[in-house]
Amino acid sequence: MSAPENLPGTIRRLAPADAAGYRTLMLDAYATHPSAFTTTVDERAGLPLRWWEERLGADDAGEAGVVYGAFNDTGALVGVAGLSFETRQRARHKATLFGMAVAASARRAGFGHRLVLAVLAHARAIERLRLVQLTVTEGNHTAQALYERCGFRVFGVEPLAIAVEGDMLAKVHMWCDLGARPR
Structural domains in the chain plus CATH codes? 10-132 (3.40.630.30)
List, for residues 22-81, the tens digit of each pLDDT value: 999 999 999 999 999 999 999 999 999 999 999 998 655 446 899 999 999 999 999 999
Q: Cα–Cα–Cα angle for 160, 66, 57, nearest 5°?
A: 120
Instruction: Record the pTM.
Output: 0.91
Closest CA to 115 of 53, 156, 162, 69: 69
Cα four-point dihedral sign 141, 65, 125, 25: positive
List, for residues 117-128, the tens digit of each pLDDT value: 999 999 999 999
Q: Please say whether the beta carbons of 162 and 38 come within 8 A.
A: yes
3-class state of residue 46 by DSSP: coil
The runs of H, that is alpha helices, within the chain are: 19-32, 41-45, 49-56, 111-124, 141-149
